[in-house]
Chain A
Amino acid sequence: MAVTRVKPKLIGENNQYCSGCGHGILNRLVAEVLEELGRADDAILVTAVGCACMMNELWQGDNMQAAHGRAPASATAIKRLRPENIVFTYQGDGDLSSIGIAEILHATARNEKFTTIFANNGVFGMTGGQMAPTTLVGQKTTTTHFGRDPQFTGMPVKIVELLATLKPAYLARGSVDSIKNINTTKKYIRNAFEAQIDSEGFSLVEVLLPCPTNWHLTPEQALERVGSTVEAYYPLGEVVKRGE
C-alpha cells in the first residue's frame, strides 16, 4: 500500500553521524512523534556530551547543550521554569550511564516531569570506542582488548531496570534493528511524551542502537548484532507502564 513519508521539519538536511549510525533513525523518530503530537514548536532539547550531542546541530527546534552527564540537571531547571513546554534530554550511554548516572538517578527519584531518550550502543562512540558501563561481557573495545571481563570490570549496567525501583511515570526499552522494533520504539517515545504532557512524572525510553564504526562491523552486521546479541542481555519492552 502506497504511503506518504516525508522528513520531519525538526530534522535538518545533513547529519554528521557515521554510515549506518542508529542515532539518525532515533533522531527522526523523536521528531516525528513531536510533530504528530503538534508540539514541535515548544519542545526543548537538552543534550550533553558524546555522539548524541551532534543532534544539536541537526535539530531545527530549541535546544541547549549541558555539561557532560548533566543534561537531566539542566532539563530539571528548564521544566520547572517553563512547565508549559515539552522538555527532553537526548543522551548516550557513555554520558548517561557513567558520568551522568547521579543526575539521572536523582531526576528519577524526584520524579521530574521531563522525558529522557537514552541511546545505548554499548561504547563511548565519539572518543574512539572505549568500554562504557553498558558494554557487554566479552565485547572487545579499545580498552578491553580481550573482551570485557566481569571479574575485572563488573557487569553491564541495566539503566531501565535500575530506575524502575524508583517508580517513575514511564520506562521502556526499544531497539531499531527491524521495522517492527522501530515502529514499537516510536510508540514508546510517544507514550513517554504523553506521560510528560499529562504531568505524570519522569519518563525514559532506552533505545538499543548499532555503532558499526566502533564495533568494527559493517552496518548490516552491526544491526544484526543488536538483534541477536544485545537484545539477549537488554530485553525489550515496557518496564514501567503509565498508570502503574
Chain B
Amino acid sequence: MSEVTVYAEKCKGCRYCAGVCNQDAISFSEKSNAAGYQFAQVDPEKCIQCGLCYTVCPDCVFEIA
C-alpha cells in the first residue's frame, strides 16, 4: 500500500492541490512553515493515492511511494 508524504517546508500555499483533489483530502495548516506559508496537509483516511496533487504541484511537495 502506497503512502503520501507531504514535504511541508517546500509548500508555498498556492492551493492548486486542493483544487484538483476529488476526495477533499487536502486542507491547509493554521500555522505557517519557515517560509511563511500555510502548508498542505493530507487526511490519510480520505486519500486514495491517485497522484493528482503531485501532478499539479509546482514545488514537488507531495511524494507517493
CB pair B2–A3 under 8 Å, yes or no, is yes
Give the number of A-B contacts (CB < 8 Å).
75
- Known contacts: A2-B64, A24-B59, A179-B55. The answer to whether A219 contacts B16 by CB under 8 A is yes
CB pair A5–B55 under 8 Å, yes or no, is yes
Within 8 A of B (CB), among A185-244: 212, 219-220, 223
Residues of B within 8 A of A28 (CB): 58, 60
0/1 interface trace, chain B 38-64, chain A, CB 8 Å (1 if under) = 000000000011111011111110111
Q: What's the least CB distance linking A24 to chain B, in Å?
A: 3
Q: How far is the CA of A129 from the CA of B49 in the complex (A)?
A: 37
0/1 interface trace, chain B 1-43, chain A, CB 8 Å (1 if under) = 1100000001011111001100000000000000001000000
CB pair A4–B48 under 8 Å, yes or no, is no
Q: Which listed residue (A5, A15, A212) contacts B54, Cβ 8 A?
A: A5
Chain B: number of interface residues, binned into ranges: 20 to 34
Q: Looking across the interface, which residue of chain A has its beta carbon closest to that of B48?
A: A2
CB pair A5–B14 under 8 Å, yes or no, is no
Residue picked from A2, A13, A212, A220, most chain B C-beta under 10 Å: A2
CB pair A5–B63 under 8 Å, yes or no, is yes
Q: How far is the CA of A220 from the CA of B37 in the complex (A)?
A: 15
Q: What's the least CB distance linking B22 to chain A, in Å?
A: 10
- Known contacts: A220-B16, A223-B16. The answer to whether A2 contacts B2 by CB under 8 A is yes
CB pair B12–A25 under 8 Å, yes or no, is no
0/1 interface trace, chain A 153-183, chain B, CB 8 Å (1 if under) = 0000000000000000000000010110011
CB pair B59–A5 under 8 Å, yes or no, is no
> Does A1 sit at the interface, judged by CB under 8 A?
yes
CB pair A19–B63 under 8 Å, yes or no, is no
> Does A22 sit at the interface, judged by CB under 8 A?
yes
CB pair B64–A4 under 8 Å, yes or no, is yes
Residues of A within 8 A of B49 (CB): 2-3
Q: What's the least CB distance linking A34 to chain B, in Å?
A: 16
CB pair A4–B2 under 8 Å, yes or no, is yes
CB pair B56–A179 under 8 Å, yes or no, is yes
Residues of A within 8 A of B65 (CB): 4-6
Q: What's the least CB distance linking A36 to chain B, in Å?
A: 14
Q: How far is the CA of A169 from the CA of B56 in the complex (A)?
A: 29
What residues of chain A have their CB less than 8 Å away from a CB belonging to chain B? 1-7, 11, 13-15, 17-25, 28, 176, 178-179, 182-183, 212, 219-220, 223
Q: Which 7 A-B pairs have the closest CB atoms?
A: A24-B58, A20-B14, A19-B12, A219-B14, A2-B49, A5-B54, A7-B60
